[in-house]
Structure 1
Amino acid sequence: MGQKELKATFSHPTPELPVADVERAQQHYRDALGFEIGWLYPGKEIGAVSRDNVAIFFRRKSQPFEPSVHWVFAPDIDATYDELRSLGARIVEPLEKKPWGLRQFTVEDLDGNRFYFHCD
């Protein structure tokens, strides 16, 4: 039996991050990471930000909650690092070459969600 030809196409997934305060998270991502605020649902339970072709949703959660972790490929890792540092992003691990061969740095948001920016 032959393999069925796949016709559907997928885009990258849109993460939904747990946060204590959606509006505060949106403002932080705008100011410290260069995102634009997209929308905020009435009641402020869920909202979104976007930058380039990336969208992130936020959903208000009661603490304690487990933060999310995301890996972000940055082709020009030096420029990305310099930009986010100049915006005041909370860089918890500086740009360095890791033992596994990637050059990477780590950003943490106000709710503990982490982004590992990396390049080969």
Structure 2
Amino acid sequence: MNNPIKTKLGQPVPELPVADVEKAQIHYRDVLGFDIAWTYPDKTIGAVARGDIAIFLSTRNNVSPHTHWIFAFDVDATFEEMKARGAQITESIEDKPWNMRQFTIEDLDGNRFIFHHDI
């Protein structure tokens, strides 16, 4: 097998299950600091964005909530921001034995985000 050229890829964009796209977008905007990017006319799917991160929110799939790891350049400042915004913090910030400092938040539909930084 010869070695094909690897093309450059962008970051994956998760599609998270939500009960109500517009309500979820408002939560991501007001509580998590995202911008509302777009909403499909039938309101079954929409997107939010923050910097280089984009997330699709969808009522089209009846699946379990997801967990996503997000690297935070200053995890302590990110923790303070999310706390000040009123995010539902399910695990407070702490140093873990696997050499990461991290904390976890949960959105309205049970999707979890673990913000982390190497120690």
Once the two structures are aligned, what percentage of the paired residues are identical?
57
- In structure 2, how many angstroms separate the alpha carbons of the residues matched to 1:72 and 1:47? 20
2:112 to 110, 114, 117: 114
- In structure 1, how many angstroms separate the alpha carbons of the residues matched to 2:61 and 2:117? 34
- Aligned partner of residue 78 in structure 1, secondary structure: helix
- Aligned partner of residue 44 in structure 1, secondary structure: coil
* Residue 99 of structure 1, CA deviation: 2.1
Question: What is the match of residue 79 of structure 2?
Answer: 81
* Residue 11 of structure 1, CA deviation: 0.7
* Residue 5 of structure 1, CA deviation: 4.3
Identify which range, 6-15 or 87-96, moves more after superposition: 6-15
In structure 2, relative to structure 1, the CA distance for the partners of 1:115 and 1:4 (3 Å cut) is same
| Conserved 8 A contact 1:30-1:37 | yes
Instruction: Give the TM-score normalised by structure 1.
Output: 0.92
Instruction: Give the TM-score normalised by structure 2.
Output: 0.93
1:66 to 64, 68, 73: 64
* Residue 98 of structure 1, CA deviation: 1.3
| Conserved 8 A contact 1:20-1:62 | no
